[in-house]
Chains A and B, each alone.
Chain A
Amino acid sequence: MKKVSSYIMEHFWGYLVAVLCLIIGVALDMLSPQLTKLMIDDVITGGRLEILNYLLLGFLIVGLGKCVFMYVKEYLFDVMSSKICARMRRNLFRHLQGLSADFYDRNNTGELMARVKEDVDHIWDGLSYVGMLLIEVTVHTALVLTCMFRLSPKLALIPTGAMLFCGILAIFLERRLDKVYEEISEENARLNTVAEENLAGVRTVRAFAREKFEIRKFLSHNKRYYELNMKQSRVFVKYHPLFTLVTKLLPLIVLLVGGVMVMQGETVGGVPFTLGSLGAFVEYSNNIVWPMEMLGWLTNSFSSAVASNRKLKKIYAETPTIRETEAPKLLPCVKGEISFEQVSFRRDNTEILRDISFHVSPGATLGIMGATGSGKTSMVQLLQRLYDCRSGRILLDGTDIRRLSLGQLRENISVVTQDVFLFSDTISDNVRLGKQAVTDFELVKTASQAAQASEFIEKLESGYDTVIGERGVGLSGGQKQRISIARALAKRNPILVMDDSTSALDMETEAAIQQTLNELPDTTKIIIAHRISAVCHADEILFLENGRIAERGTHKELLAQKGLYYETYQLQMGGAIYAD
């Protein structure tokens, strides 16, 4: 993970200018008590009216200067912090996209969303106004203290002590709040997860009339979030008044001690400590009050940013389990020959696949059948290297896929997944996914025609530019499947995998799509299905049972075996009896 400080260093010059503006602004601010002192000592008490106009002009210049420099400072901080955080967000996003499927099996979308949004936002706050004010507070305090030392080193010891006290207090407070904020960030992610699930599953919630149950579930997290925020409040309330107390006591004590000094006629560097000097000193101590009060609030926001940064670190600590070899082999052209050699696969201590071997020549068709949960989809995921197999190896055109570049491997396999996932985007952009730049509209249309989708798409008001809902909401199951098939066909890849992807289609449409597939002689096809009709034309059909190949052969051979395949055939054709 790139450190926050290195992000800041990238904008070194910007920050330098901003800090310079800040110093000038604060210095101008410091000038006004000096002007006040001159005004009282020289003009009012001393009667030197000739310098009055200069002093008045001075006040105006101070106001104008602050107005310009402080604006530049604030704007620069906003611009740079926004740049840094946009970068941080992108890097985090890229890191997340690089993580393997097993990471997504373990983590909830709602939680990861909270990391990308809320946690980066907290760091953003930390870098923009919190960081800016922290620097401002420091510069301001340093300058005020210097001025105070010049007026009276003895008297300046009082505010110095007060500042030290506040600084230590802030460190204590930060440590205490840090932990609470980590919990709050955690609960915020949980709240996000609960709400996300509820929204995504709204149809199920309504179907079971479980609204009250869902509301109660959310309430318990909402309450917990409240309690954690109150915990933060208790810590903060315990410490913050101490800051306030110091700020209130400071001017009074300065007044007491300073007053005594004036009365006793003490001198500072040979010059008597005048009433005017005390006035200026009191004004300075009023000036140092707000940075101290501010320190409490800043510490609060700072802790929140630190806690969020730690959450991000945890995600950065995750590494992809599927990685390319250092010098991946690039195939000059992928022909589409696939071999599984004694492949076994386990997940969470459960055996999924065992000793799977088969060979598909370029352009041939492999059919896969098997009971629910027998490992059909896992075979596809292994082929794409979404997971790696435990033992055995998978070859593409004779090369172990672990030696190939991940990009080349995946770019050459089009998969129509069982769980259709479409983006809330136009139909045409959905079809082009993965090859946006090189897929022209003609190809989108051809692919949609081949997937039997063009008819219904063209009937839509905006045709291919129709925006569909998230996950394809608003379309029927069959329509979603057809777009997803079009998406795969538009890639014109040497390997096409159809994972139970015609289940929601009527037989006629399915047959038409089958016809299309037959017209792709150069494409290696893997077809997973429950229907005999979908696989019966395949060159070889595998029938899986509990992660092993139970039967294999062509349609005819399998029927002759009178085993599982034959049984399924009988069941599916059972309905046909009426036709006799």
Chain B
Amino acid sequence: MPINSFKEDERTVEQGKVKTLLRLFSYLLAYKKEILLVLCIMLFCVGVSLMNPLFVETAIDSHIGTGDFPGLVRLILFALGLNVGMVLFTKLRMHIMNRVCNSILMTIRQELYTHIQTLDFHFFDSRPTGKILSRIIGDVNSLKDVLGNCVTTLIPDFITISAVILIMLAKSPALTAASLCTLPLLGAGVWYIQTKSHSRWQLFRKKASNMNAFVHEDLSGMRIIQSFHAEKETDDTFYQLTEEHRKAFVSACRINDAIGSVIDFCWGFSTAALYFTGIVILGTDKVSVGTLLAFGSYIGMFWHPIMNLSDFYKQLITNLAAAERVFEVLDTPSEITDEHATGELSSIKGEVIFDRVSFAYSDAPDIMVLEDVSFRIKPGETIALVGPTGAGKTTIVNLISRFYNATRGHVRIDGQDVQEVTLNSLRSQMGIMTQDNFLFTGTVMENIRYGRLDATDEECIAAARAVNAHDFIMKLEKGYDTELSERGGGLSVGQKQLLAFARTFVSMPGILILDEATSSIDTKTEVLVQNGIEALLAGRTSFVIAHRLSTIQKADRIFVIDNKGILEEGSARELMKKKGAYYKLYMAQFTQATPEAAQ
């Protein structure tokens, strides 16, 4: 799958609107009791609202018209009582509904986040971080109103509409028919608008996501932008992206805003139809003023919920696209799971076996990265992996820590297939150091403790000492309590590497993997770090990937990786004697190392 950039729209899978809706509303099922209570309250409230025009009718026809003052007061007081009660219930209803909606929002967000934690690297590598973020934050947030309104608008408004129709029918079927004559027109109009605007709102979401992705990259790469003086260029790009975003919005609005117009037109037409029917067809003698007035009122009561429903509908179309984006992530399957795990990996002794392992990335199954690789590593051995870029060194260590599954063959640690143990038990025993080490915001101490959450302060400091990080940490403003900003900002790349080392150290891994881990550390410190590693990890299996052959001379065995497999293996001395690929590599490095050597 090609990589998606901030310039391109994401491709989303069509999921079906009804399916998405049902799925969204299924979250409400967890709150049956609350929803039931809310519905009861709403039923009462709708009842009171429906009775209000009746009060008006009775008041005018039988009290004011006849001059019955005490009757009028009694009626009004009764109505007042009901309305105050309704307001109090409304308060309760709003509170419950807000709690339900906010809870569901929290649940969906947490579900999404938890699911993302299980997704394969491919998911993260193929799209900008800003686009994933906009799903977790923006898209989830926009579901809030839809959820709340679906209970507080959709259901009561349907009840109101049905009740109004029933009352009107009971009073006069002819007038009812006249009042509702525009309903088919309304339905057709709204349906047309929604089919048209749905895809436009989808586009709007995608543009928002592009914009978010760009802002994220721009902010995280600000130093580069400023140092290349590229502000003008990024400004122009941002202009483009905001313009696309804006245009997508306006194009969606152009259609969506027409919903109100359709309703306005239908409303006017039906009112005219009502009076025409009432006066011309039925005749004034058959219809009382009160009835006509009440009908006018009912038409209002009929169209208001329709207006509300259309607003809700508008909101629904706008935000359905957000729900689709959220569910799409939730439906993304993960390849690396605990599905076949039969148990935990017990404490690692350190034997690693590759049994005829082949590997190809799932998006390019024809290009084999490793083919039929077999080896056995004894507990406590140090293995160096050398070879040209892209030969598969990193792939081998990625298979051991099961960042990827072997396409064929088995990877075994202490006799157990890595696919048959839980990921947590496997990875928590691995110490993996890569070129780019990510530090989190938080104190230096918290960052070291990330390696083992129950490590004491003393253990963390001991680890820092072992990798020679203690001295520079103590020079920081607050020592171990110094707050690091994002990605360890404020520290040099070498210092970050040292901290990451300490973090790996404190985890006391059963197997240690160093992938170019000391590339940014000066030679003197590097020697100290290596001594520290040797002392603390004596007897542990380790894998070292390095370009500088000078750093791997002490390895028990060196694997030269090339051509999808192991080309040569043996100790440094053996390989030098063999005068093969390793020898060539070594001589090339040595002659280029210094002017003296070159002479």
Contact = CB atoms under 8 A, between A and B. Distances in A.
Given A237-B94, A424-B213, A507-B547, A568 B260 contact: no
Contact of B124 (A202, A248, A252): A202
Contact of B450 (A195, A210, A434): A210
Contacts of B223: 101, 104, 386, 417, 421
A576 B550 CA distance: 7
Contacts of A43: 275, 279, 284
Given A478-B389, A503-B520, A373 B494 contact: yes
A361 interface: no
15 contacts: A63-B271, A75-B257, A78-B253, A96-B219, A108-B441, A117-B211, A196-B129, A206-B121, A208-B427, A252-B55, A262-B64, A275-B60, A373-B495, A386-B227, A418-B520
Contacts of B407: none
B108 to A, nearest CB: 10
Interface stretch (A155-163, A166-174, A253-261): A253-261
Interface stretch (B23-31, B320-328, B471-479, B536-544): B471-479
Interface string B349-386: 00000000000000000000000000000000000000
B38 to A, nearest CB: 13
A424 B102 contact: no
Contacts of A60: 268-269, 272
A249 B261 contact: no
A536 B595 contact: yes
Given A121-B138, A262-B64, A372-B521, 9 more contacts: A63-B265, A67-B261, A188-B137, A207-B427, A234-B95, A279-B293, A373-B491, A410-B227, A426-B5
B532 interface: no
Contacts of B535: none
A421 B493 CA distance: 13
A473 interface: yes
Leading 7 A-B pairs by shortest Cβ distance: A63-B268, A575-B550, A372-B494, A434-B228, A201-B438, A233-B98, A59-B272
A579 B235 contact: no
B330 interface: no
A203 B121 contact: yes
Interface in A540-580: 555, 564, 567-569, 571-576, 578-579
Contact of A195 (B90, B137, B293, B485): B137
A114 interface: yes
Nearest to B527: A571
A207 B250 contact: no
A456 interface: yes
A448 B337 CA distance: 40
Contact of B72 (A49, A259, A410, A456): A259
Given A93-B235, A259-B59, A78 B250 contact: yes
B487 A456 contact: no
Interface string B212-229: 110111111111111111
A392 interface: no
Contact of B226 (A94, A245, A386, A578): A386
A478 B519 CA distance: 11
Residue in B230, B521, B576 whose Cβ sees the most chain A Cβ within 10 Å: B230
A303 to B, nearest CB: 16
B-side binding surface: helix, strand, loop or mixed? helix
A233 B101 CA distance: 11
Contacts of A532: 593-594
A376 B266 CA distance: 74
Interface in B38-82: 52, 55-56, 59-60, 63-65, 67, 69, 72-73, 76, 79-80
A71 B258 contact: yes
B130 A209 contact: no
Interface string B119-155: 0010011101110111011100100000000000000
A421 B424 contact: no
Contacts of A198: 113, 117
B588 A507 contact: yes
A213 interface: yes
A174 B303 CA distance: 30
B220 A421 contact: yes
B33 to A, nearest CB: 18
Interface stretch (B240-248, B458-466, B560-568): B240-248
Interface residues of A, number: 186
B437 A204 contact: yes
Given A209-B423, A576-B597, A507 B233 contact: no
A64 B490 contact: no
Given A71-B257, A425-B5, A105 B490 contact: yes
A263 interface: yes
A476 B390 contact: yes
Contact of A36 (B56, B296, B389, B427): B296
A263 B268 contact: no
A410 B233 contact: no
Contact of B268 (A64, A113, A211, A414): A64
A74 B257 contact: yes
Contact of A116 (B72, B215, B389, B593): B215
Contacts of B117: 198, 205, 211, 214-215
B254 interface: yes
Contacts of A104: 219, 222-223, 489
Nearest to A261: B64
B589 A507 contact: yes
Nearest to B126: A469
B110 interface: yes
B125 A474 contact: yes
Contact of A78 (B103, B257, B451): B257
Interface stretch (A15-23, A143-151, A223-231, A335-343): A223-231
Nearest to A202: B124
B187 to A, nearest CB: 17
A536 B576 CA distance: 27
Interface in B83-124: 83-84, 86-88, 90-91, 94-95, 98-99, 102-103, 105-106, 109-110, 113-114, 116-118, 121, 124
Nearest to A204: B438
Contacts of A477: 435-436, 516, 519
Contacts of A110: 133
B519 A86 contact: no
A83 B113 CA distance: 33
B194 interface: no
B261 A71 contact: yes
B110 A218 contact: yes
B551 interface: yes
B448 to A, nearest CB: 12
A195 B266 CA distance: 48
B340 to A, nearest CB: 17
A135 interface: no
Nearest to A348: B477
Contacts of B289: 40, 44-45, 275, 279
Interface in A250-297: 251-253, 255-256, 259-260, 262-263, 275, 278-279, 282-283, 286, 290
Contacts of A101: 222-223, 226
B83 A192 contact: no
A388 B487 CA distance: 23
Contacts of B137: 114, 118, 188, 191-192, 195
Contacts of B389: 456, 476, 478-479, 506
B52 A86 contact: no
A20 B232 CA distance: 40
A1 interface: no
Contacts of A30: none
Contact of B227 (A209, A415, A574): A415
A101 B597 CA distance: 42
A150 B86 CA distance: 32
A98 interface: yes
A477 B394 CA distance: 11
Given A60-B272, A66-B268, A278-B64, A192 B133 contact: yes
A279 B105 CA distance: 45
